[in-house]
Structure formats: C-alpha cells, structure tokens
Structure 1
Amino acid sequence: MSTEPRAAIIGYGDAYAGFEEPKPPLTLAARAIRAAVEDAGLEPDDVRGQGLLTARRPAADHRPQWNNILGSYLNLAPTYSTEVTMHSAGAISMIEHASTAVRDGVVDYVVCAGADAAASLGAYPHIASRESKYTNYTEFAGTMDVHPEFEYPYGVIMPAAFAMGARRQMHELGHTAEDFALASVICRDWGVDFPHATLGHKGRLSVDDVLDSPMIASPLRLFNIMPLGPGGSGGAFIVTSVERARELGVEPVYVYGYGSRSTHEYLTPRANSPYWPERGNLVDSGMVDAAERAFAMTDRDVDDIDLIETDAGTSNAVPLLLEQLGFCEPGEGGQFIREGHLDPDGGDIAFNTDGGALTAGQTGVSLYVDRIIECIRQLRGEALGRQAPDVETGLVYGLGGPLYACSTVAILGNTN
C-alpha cells in the first residue's frame, strides 16, 4: 500500500468513425495517438524510440504483428513494445505494463493505443471476399469465444454463454430480470448525451421497455445486450513517471493501482477450473482478486471510488461486478442498483458515463480502450457528454472472454 501514485497519464486522444464514412483501425489509432501527443504538450520526436503498447489486434484488421504495423505506420521505432492481450481486457492491463516500464526507467514515455471498426467494416476488410458489415452483436461475437469443438457444434454462442451465467446469478445470488433491466436503464440514462453513443439518439429506456424487448437468450433480452457501433473508435494515452510529469508542469491523471487475473478459456473449461471453490461454478470470477490487487497498491478503497467505467457488455454483469469489486456484499448487487447509487441524478457513484457498452456500443475490441479514455475525460472534467460532478477517483474494469475469463482493474485519480 502506498500513498504515492505509480505513474501519470499526461495526454490522451480519441477518434471516431460513423457507418457512413468508415475508417480503418490503423487510421483511428494514428489519429488518437497524434491527439494524445499534442494533448501532452509533446512533439512526435519525444515519443519516438520510446514505448508503444497496443491492445488486442482489431477484428477489422487481423494482420499479425498489428502492434509492429502501427509503430511502423507512425515511424515510432519503439524500444519497448508489445500487444497486450487478456482477451480484449488487456487494454486496461496496458496501464500496468506502461506504469512498470516508466517506474523502472526502461523508457520515459509509453504510448498506449487501441482501435477497431468491426461494426462498419466487418472482419478482414483487406480480403475482398470477406468484406461485410456486421448487423448485430451475435453476428460479430457469436462464435468468437466459444469452443470450436465442444461448444459451437451444440449451439452455444456468446449470448447463450452469458445467459447461463445470468441464470446462475438469479439462482445463487437472487438477482432478477428487473435488476438486469434497471442496469440497462441506468447506462442509457448516462449515455443519451454522449455524442458518439450508438443508442443515444433512441432516448431513455424504462424497465418495461427492456423487459418487453425481444428475447435473445433467456433471461437476456435485446436491451440487455450491447449494440454494435459506432462505426469505429480509437483511443490513445501517454504514460510517464510521476517525477517527469512534475518536471513537465502538467496536471496528469495519476495511476494509483492495477490488478488482473485470467482464470479460464471458453465456457466448458471454466466449469472444471481448479480456481473455483466448487466444481461447475459459473458465478465467482477473477475480478475479486484483480480488484484486491489493485486496491492493495494504494491507500484508497471502494469508499473513495466515485466513478466506475466498465465494458459490461450484458447488463447482468452490472450487479455481479458491483459485488465482486467490493461495492456491496454478495447477493446485494441488485439492491445496490435499486437504491440509486448509480443514478445520474442523486447517485453517489458515476457509472459508465458515456453509456458504457450497453449504450455507447461496441465497435469491436476497442470498447475497452473507450472506457479508459472516458475515465480520463471525466477525471479531467472534459466529458464529451454528461460530466459527473466532483469526481476524484475512478475505477476502470475490463472483462474479457466468456463469463469473465479475464479481469483487469485500474484505479485512476486526479489528486496526488
């Protein structure tokens, strides 16, 4: 535990593309990086020969060594560089790796970036025969993270895998369909003012709207599942040491702590993993350990968190993550939401302030970088949509893979 931050984020940038004018991930990432360098008050030469970390390679550009391709495209010639993958949640682990590198003096700066445009370009857009635009989440991710031999042939697709977990939450923790619906409503309430939110123009939801929407995989309905969109998004941020940030005279966003845990791959091995306290467990997750590791690095605890940004691609994840990240006891996640803690008006925790994946949407694997960028915006008081008042400490959580295969947590703040 430390009262001192681990590192500092001194600049950030973003880039978006619509369905009418799609842009490839490489372009989006390059624009975001250039904006981040300018925002940090640096010159391009300051970050050349330094660090470059990228999140999971885009679904819209699956060329191997995408990290190297991006570095070459921008002539960065990094000396510390890799793609960070814990499923897509590795985007948040970039904060951990970058902080370690600058603390140890490996490099002075680390550029962290991610982008995707699968919603508008489909997968493998550089192969003409595969050009297509996805129409929904099931088409995009339906087979991405299901076992090709033991699951997919029997009809298991991603929404069904998460629905199994939702059913177990209802059985073991007392969560209800109404709890899941209210989580969707809250994310819509936060996201209607975000200019790039895929569903923002649809207006607010009611619990009945969610419960009346088409069933996708019981108990998950259409409005319990994130939409695809916008057409593309990219984000970048620059990490340096706290000491260097002071020398530069900037007001950074500080990195207080981080943690991660990868527990399984695919639904079938999850049910047999020795990590779980009992065989067949579909409710416990590695986010408990990831959060404990992050909070153990700082003198802050859950009572200090006034901002949460998470991808939460299905709304049943919301009560579960509130419990397992430590904001309430097991079985009390639904009650926590119903008590209004996450409400835009009167709540004590700002939650998914751009609407999160459930309203802002999923352009592809860049939705995790999007959450980091939104957290930085809020902590700097520069929200594109609704600005949460008086936020000082934020928690970013990423879940990757089926039923929380990978969990990554970062705790950020604007005070030292």
Structure 2
Amino acid sequence: MKSLGVFRGSVAIAGVGVAGLGDASGYTETEILAQAAVRAVADAGLTMQDIDGLATCSSSATMWAMPVTEYLGLRPRFIESTMLGGSSFLAHLLPSILALESGQCNAVLVCYGSTQRSATFGRKEGVKARMLLDPQPFEQPYSPIAPITSYALAAARHMHEYGTTRSQLAEIAVAARQWAQLNPEAIMREPLSIEDVINARMVSDPLSTRDCCLVTDGAGAYVLVRSDRARTLKRKPVYVLGSATAVWNRQISSMADLTTTAAVESGQRALAMAGVNLADIDVVQLYDAFTINTLLFLEDLGFCKKGEGGAFVENGAIAPGGRLPVNTNGGGLSCLHPGMYGIFLLIEAVRQLRGDCDLRQVDGAELALVHGNGGTLSSQSTAILGTEATL
C-alpha cells in the first residue's frame, strides 16, 4: 500500500470565496452558497463549466449534494457528501485529492452555506430536527442544551483535572476578539476583556455567552486542482501537504477521556503526510465553537502537553503579537459561525499563505495548520497547507 506522503503537495487550492457573512436576510442558504461558489471559481480564474467535482454537505438536508448540483448547473464526475459536522469541509480534502490524482476529475468545488441566523427555520428548529435524524440515546433523555452542555462538561472536567481556570479560558475569547478587530469581515469587533468574558451571562457552567461561538449566516467555497494546473492559474497556489480525519465517538458521554479528542490521531497523521513538525508551523486555525475547543486542540495536536493548555494561552500568547498566531480572522468566537465553521478555517489559512490579510497578516507565513471539529468533540480533521516554498 502506498504511503499518503506520495500525495504531498500534489493538489492545490486555487480559489476561495465567501458570501452572506453575518446576516443574509432575504437569501436562502442555497443562494449564498452559490454566490460563494461563483466567487471561488472566479478567484481561481476558472468558470463553472470547468468544475467537474463537487464536495458539499449540510446539517439541514440529507441529500444536499443533489440540489446543489442542480442549482449550480453542474454535471460532476466526482461527488463527496460525507457529513461529519463542522469538520466536513476539511475531511473532504483527502477524498478530493484522491479523485483528482486518479484522473476522475480535474477541478473540485468544495462549498457550504447556512442561513441559521436569518432563516425562519432557524438554529433551534434545526437542532430539534437533527436530534431526530441523529439520536444520542445516552444523552437525549436528559434534555441537554445541545451542544453546549457537552462542551461545558469537557471544560469542567479539564478544570477539575488540571486546574484550568475561567480566566485562562477567557484568554482564548479575548485573543479571538483582538484578531477580529483587525478583520473587516468579523461580526464582533467591540473591545472584550477577560472580566467581560467571566462576567457574561452563564449559559452552561462553566461557559458564559462569551465562551460560546456566534450564531451567524454565511457561505464559503474553495476550488481544488492538481498542482501543475494551479501554477498556470490566476492566484498564488496554496498546496495541500497533509490531510487526515479521525472519529472516536459520537456522544461525548462515550469519550474514553473528556479531555482528549481524536485530534491526537488526525494531527499526527496529517503532520506525517506533510513531513513537517509543529515547530515549522507559522499560523494555526482551530475550530473554536467554544473556548475549551481551542485549549483541547492545542494540547491534542501537540503544541503543549496535556493539561498545560491553560498556561500556554496566558498573557496573550495566541493573540496578535503573541508567540503563536491562532484563529487570525477572529474565529467562531468573534468572526462568524454559520452552523458548520470548518470551511472558513481553511479559507483564512489560504488568505494568510497568500499574504492577503492586511492588518492581521502574519509576516512570513509559509505553513498553516488547520483543524476542524464536528459534533460534540466527535469528528476531528487536520490539514497542513503550504506555499511553493514548502514543497
């Protein structure tokens, strides 16, 4: 069996696009998805007629790839619609790479859209509908506040086991806000202090409203092509050096350890495929649906030891000017969070590696680690992206 390392850098992201960020009132999720898709394809210097591969999914429809195909007028030879929650659009990377490298298709469009904030059938109704399609028999009988109860449980356990403090979790929200203040696309840009986070309304102990992600609309898309083609196109290619996905559980009550996620596995495999070390990484994008996510993923991916995440993020370590740039667009905590956020992590990483981020640009960024999470610490997907200099 061939090592996945043979696919290192064989495929590149040639274009990205977003639409409907924040509040997309008056538009459906399909419409803003199409807007983002058209922008991503144009950004790559291609046309929709060039797209012969499609990767998409939605929490609001079980057969989402079919209406998207129809609406965009595509006739894809490759279709990927695996639904793993917020990590899905990172998990779609490796199947797309294999499809491109096998010659099954030549250009894959990965896209997502959600109007969970503005739609009449909104977030609360969506959660109820998903519970019917995605039963969690060990938890639903107790009527948890989905999904925050699960993340609060993980946070409480980490605090109990390792002495992590509310102030340390608040550092994560404050750092995200400081990055958001440099990003004109971010929804929340007002000043935020550690005290503001701690004193905000408690939602599920120990997490307050400012420990929780935003509820927004938004659509994102990116285009993948083989690297030799990417070099002839409009924009600076960003190469996919490594990609891996791991799932250990669905319900958080089925986790062997509430403080350790499958990011341990996905991170190691992605780094091995890429042939790089964490010390080489210039910028990090982590799925921060809640402050505890960022802390757990920093530990599980190996940026610090288990239990040391709280100390690692203190004193602005992951904020602008800190030692490790994390969630440079403001993340799900302050930029946007339209249901499934993973695609926006990758888009921000691409922008950083292209040098397109203006005030929030990380100087000399050549390697990015992107990590997505789905469900309740259930699915984990890690990608390593690099510039031409990293090949």
Following superposition, the deviation at residue 343 of structure 1 comes to 2.1
Q: Is the 8 A contact 1:25 1:58 kept in 2?
A: no
Q: Is the 8 A contact 1:28 1:115 kept in 2?
A: yes
Which residue of 1 is the match for residue 283 of structure 2?
Answer: 307
Q: Does 1:103 align with 2:101?
A: yes
From 111, 115, 118, give the equivalent of 1:117. Answer: 115
* Counterparts of 2:317 and 2:375, CA distance in 1: 28
Which residue of 2 is the match for residue 24 of structure 1?
Answer: 28
Following superposition, the deviation at residue 163 of structure 1 comes to 0.9
* Counterparts of 2:167 and 2:262, CA distance in 1: 26
* Counterparts of 2:196 and 2:125, CA distance in 1: 23
* Counterparts of 1:112 and 1:3, CA distance in 2: 19
From 306, 310, 317, give the equivalent of 1:334. Answer: 310
From 50, 66, 69, give the equivalent of 2:67. Answer: 69
Following superposition, the deviation at residue 247 of structure 1 comes to 4.5
* Counterparts of 1:142 and 1:318, CA distance in 2: 27
Q: Is the 8 A contact 1:195 1:384 kept in 2?
A: no
From 50, 55, 60, give the equivalent of 1:53. Answer: 55
RMSD over aligned Cα atoms = 2.2
Following superposition, the deviation at residue 51 of structure 1 comes to 0.6
Q: Which amino acid aligns with 1:51?
A: G
User: CA, structure 1 residues 102+3, in 2 after alignment: closer, same or farther (shift >3 Å)?
Assistant: closer
1:398 aligns to what SS in structure 2? strand
* Counterparts of 2:381 and 2:258, CA distance in 1: 18
* Counterparts of 2:192 and 2:79, CA distance in 1: 43
Matches within 5 A, 1:164-203: 164-200=153-189, 203=190
User: CA, structure 1 residues 143+222, in 2 after alignment: closer, same or farther (shift >3 Å)?
Assistant: farther
Q: Does 1:378 align with 2:363?
A: no
User: CA, structure 1 residues 248+132, in 2 after alignment: closer, same or farther (shift >3 Å)?
Assistant: closer
Q: Does 1:34 align with 2:38?
A: yes
Deviations 1:58-96, CA, capped at 9 Å, x for gaps? 53xx3x422111111111110111312222311111111
1:53 aligns to what SS in structure 2? strand
Normalised to the residue count of structure 1, the TM-score between the two structures is 0.86
User: CA, structure 1 residues 133+5, in 2 after alignment: closer, same or farther (shift >3 Å)?
Assistant: closer
From 231, 237, 255, give the equivalent of 2:222. Answer: 237
Q: Does 1:220 align with 2:220?
A: no
Matches within 5 A, 1:335-414: 335-338=311-314, 340-345=316-321, 347-365=322-340, 367-383=341-357, 386-402=360-376, 404-414=377-387
Q: Does 1:294 align with 2:281?
A: no
User: CA, structure 1 residues 235+334, in 2 after alignment: closer, same or farther (shift >3 Å)?
Assistant: same
* Counterparts of 1:93 and 1:381, CA distance in 2: 25
Which residue of 1 is the match for residue 251 of structure 2?
Answer: 266
Q: Is the 8 A contact 2:12 2:238 kept in 1?
A: yes
Q: Is the 8 A contact 2:215 2:336 kept in 1?
A: yes
Q: Is the 8 A contact 1:119 1:364 kept in 2?
A: no
Q: Is the 8 A contact 1:84 1:91 kept in 2?
A: no
1:285 aligns to what SS in structure 2? coil
Following superposition, the deviation at residue 314 of structure 1 comes to 0.8
Deviations 1:80-137, CA, capped at 9 Å, x for gaps? 113122223111111111112112222111111111111111xxxxxxxxx3555xxx
Q: Is the 8 A contact 1:87 1:400 kept in 2?
A: yes
Which is worse superposed, 73-82 or 375-384?
375-384
Deviations 1:127-157, CA, capped at 9 Å, x for gaps? xxxx3555xxx77658856855442332322
* Counterparts of 1:58 and 1:218, CA distance in 2: 27
Normalised to the residue count of structure 2, the TM-score between the two structures is 0.91
User: CA, structure 1 residues 69+132, in 2 after alignment: closer, same or farther (shift >3 Å)?
Assistant: closer
Q: Which amino acid aligns with 1:303?
A: A
Which residue of 2 is the match for residue 91 of structure 1?
Answer: 89
Following superposition, the deviation at residue 310 of structure 1 comes to 2.0
* Counterparts of 2:197 and 2:117, CA distance in 1: 23
